[in-house]
Structure 1
Amino acid sequence: MCVQEAEQQATEGTKENTQMEINISSVDQSSSLVNSLPLESICENTASEDRKEIQQNNFLPALRAGEWSDIGERASMEDTHICIPDMAMNFGQTRLGEEAISFYGVFDGHGGKAAAQFVRDRLPQVIVEDADFPLELEKVVTKSFKEIDSSFAESCSLESSLSSGTTALTAMIFGRSLLVANVGDCRAVLSRRGVAIEMSKDHRPGCKDERSRIESLGGFVDDGYLNGQLGVTRALGDWHIKGLKKAENGGPLSAEPELKLVTLTREDEFLIIGCDGIWDVFRSQNAVDFARRRLQQHNNVKLCCKEIVNEAKKRGSIDNLTVVMVCFHPEPPPPLVVERRTRVRKSFSAECLQNLKYLLEE
């Protein structure tokens, strides 16, 4: 082989290597592009939103709680409530990790106060003593509601004077997580930058989903009442009312709570938990607006609860009244800045006006 042929082969080999490198580079770049497709939409605004989300997710609530209740226009008080800053410490349990789990609840009794007090006194401890607490909290809460319901049935069988029922709404806060469990028509409302976020659904016979569930289990709705007897479709207790609960399939009156879990951010200001007597005269957004104004005036959570109850009485609520409020910041809610909207003038083209005229003349 002469020098010229060797140089020519070397040159061709270099071209092949270069081509191979180019092809490999193209494959790598294609793979990189495929992997980076979700990032193509990133712009300055998106990056700013990401930073904002990171800041919010680093938020850790500083809890402040208050409560107030009043007999209202009723002859007896059947509401009760509970506020526990640290469940594990309260019941002498060894806590996993450093985060305390706080527990708040409102229980609205009917047909007596025994069921409401029974659930208030026993439900938190049943939750804490469950083997899966706190790692599988949603499962534990659901199971504990049903277990308490069965325990109360046994107590009523031994002492008939206890026979009664209660709605139950609980809120558990651990770290940045808020878990609300509801059975009945109490309601929990979260204020998120002044906007009311309903954390529970009222379980009443007029609710379409509840009515379907009731009828599938052999129940019925008559004049707005479950089986013509009860104004709620989920409750603990009421074992003495025939046809509402059955051991084999639960019956039309359910003790299973509906759960809602959210991650709190800096925009979340406080949670209002109230019995139905409050929501008879307050809309959810109205309650948030009222509470924000009062907290901005004095920043006293317990006083705010008292003012909500007193306002409900002024508005004509005749039921027992109970409110529990949990604030997530030491400061009062900030004033809301309302953005001015630019006025947009709307106009119609000549062709559009002509078509409209033609249609009107037909």
Structure 2
Amino acid sequence: MCVQEGDEQVDQEIDNKKMSSWSLHCDLLHAQMDNTEKDSSFRISSDKITLTNSFPLESICEDAEIAEKKQNLINFVPNLRSGEWSDIGGRSYMEDTHICIGDLAKKFGYNVVNEEAISFYGVFDGHGGKSAAQFVRDHLPRVIVEDADFPLELEKVVTRSFLETDSEFAKTCSIESSLSSGTTALTAIIFGRSLLVANAGDCRAILSRAGGAIEMSKDHRPLCIKERKRIESLGGFVDDGYLNGQLGVTRALGDWHLEGMKEISGRSGPLSAEPELKLMTLTKEDEFLIIGSDGIWDVFRSQNAIDFARRRLQEHNDVKQCCKEIIGEAIKRGATDNLTVVMICFQSDPPPPLVVERPRVRRSISAEGLQNLKCLLEG
């Protein structure tokens, strides 16, 4: 009994301290303590709300933050605007191609119960010719729509469609060998507040969220440790940074004419057409998505591209013009590959200016640095 009574006194002291802290931090709430009661309750007279055993202010702040994020998700409806631009760059042949479809189901005459449009965007970077890139551009959207699970299980649908389109191209090349070639493929599907990116190759998709760059895809190259382990487990190898000494990418559609790439002794080879997927729920903070062929990323870092695009959109808010300016800047920076950019904006207004607080950093120089500086000054 004595121990329990002591605990009650300690609890009451803690509660009283919480009441004091609460009144100091929150000017809007005027707590009235009732010393005659033992339950340490307080009353807000203006709203006639009684709270027992008050909780710290931090809990309310966390709850409010979570509620605000949920509200952003519920209330946000993307207002899609898109633009695109491409250039042959420093190459003799243009092997890039792209596609923008505002309503995928309507495009192919598919009746969807939900009236919400499913938008489709893609960039395809061909190699060894342009046939594979053009074939995938023309056939992949149709294969997606005709899948039995469309539009309910889009992640499974998209993965199957990449593989099926790859098989269709193999059959086409067996009839007409002159079409033999390969292509990387990166697609973005937007339905409601969801963004689904599928990538096979080294094109790249970058999402701007409140001015920060979020990479929605990973470059599939032989020097990537994960990809290297995968291709070696399938009988492939990396030679001088190239898959089997021939390709600079580890995932692509086509290339059936290259021995030991797609098949080895009747089993799957190291070059895969299976895409990696990334699904994101869009919020009010999401501004736009940039999809670019690898020639863009040879001269732009992901955050650099976002910063450049934001500045241009703030100037004129013209998506197509922004794409043109990105490619123009890439050429100025010395890009030599084919260049293609597709941009999808989720807002009708241009991105807002960012307010960045400069951190106070104390800079110092090491003893070694001081000695080097002294020697430099003394000659």
The TM-score range, normalised by the shorter chain, is 0.7 to 0.9
Alignment match, 1:123: 140
Alignment match, 1:260: 278
C-alpha root-mean-square deviation of aligned residues, in Å?
Answer: 1.7
Q: Which runs of 5+ in 2 are unaligned?
A: 1-54, 365-379
Normalised to the residue count of structure 2, the TM-score between the two structures is: 0.79
1:172-321 correspondence runs (5 A): 172-246=189-263, 248-321=266-339
Alignment match, 1:339: 357
CA distance in 2, matches of 1:199, 1:94: 29
CA distance in 2, matches of 1:164, 1:318: 21
Once the two structures are TM-superposed, the CA of residue 54 in structure 1 deviates from its matched residue by 2.2
CA distance in 2, matches of 1:42, 1:259: 37
Residue by residue, what CA displacement relative to the aligned partner does 1:196-220 show, whole Å, maximum 9, x if unpaired?
0000000000000000001000000
Distance 1:340 1:237, change over 3 A: same
Higher relative contact order, chain-length normalized (CA < 8 Å, sep 6+): 1
CA distance in 1, matches of 2:154, 2:186: 16
* Count of aligned positions: 308
The residue type equivalent to 2:84 in the other structure is: E
CA distance in 2, matches of 1:343, 1:181: 41
CA distance in 1, matches of 2:330, 2:68: 38
The residue type equivalent to 2:157 in the other structure is: V
Higher helix share: 1
Q: Does 1:70 align with 2:87?
A: yes
Helix, strand or coil at the partner of 1:43: helix
The residue type equivalent to 1:147 in the other structure is: E
Alignment match, 2:43: none
CA distance in 2, matches of 1:317, 1:344: 38
**Aligned residue among 114, 126, 129 for 2:131:** 114
Helix, strand or coil at the partner of 1:272: strand
Residue by residue, what CA displacement relative to the aligned partner does 1:101-129 show, whole Å, maximum 9, x if unpaired?
00000000000000000000000010001
Q: Which structure has the greater CA radius of gyration?
A: 1
Q: Which runs of 5+ in 1 are unaligned?
A: 1-38, 347-362
Residue by residue, what CA displacement relative to the aligned partner does 1:216-247 show, whole Å, maximum 9, x if unpaired?
00000000000000000000000000010118
CA distance in 1, matches of 2:181, 2:57: 58
Once the two structures are TM-superposed, the CA of residue 47 in structure 1 deviates from its matched residue by 2.5
Residue by residue, what CA displacement relative to the aligned partner does 1:254-294 show, whole Å, maximum 9, x if unpaired?
00000000100011100000000000000000000000000
Helix, strand or coil at the partner of 2:274: coil
Helix, strand or coil at the partner of 1:157: helix
Once the two structures are TM-superposed, the CA of residue 45 in structure 1 deviates from its matched residue by 1.3
Alignment match, 1:168: 185
Distance 1:114 1:338, change over 3 A: same
Distance 1:345 1:323, change over 3 A: closer
Normalised to the residue count of structure 1, the TM-score between the two structures is: 0.83
Once the two structures are TM-superposed, the CA of residue 51 in structure 1 deviates from its matched residue by 2.8
Helix, strand or coil at the partner of 1:215: helix
The residue type equivalent to 2:162 in the other structure is: F
CA distance in 2, matches of 1:48, 1:344: 35
The residue type equivalent to 2:357 in the other structure is: E
CA distance in 1, matches of 2:62, 2:362: 27
Alignment match, 2:61: 45
Distance 1:345 1:242, change over 3 A: closer
CA distance in 1, matches of 2:71, 2:356: 23
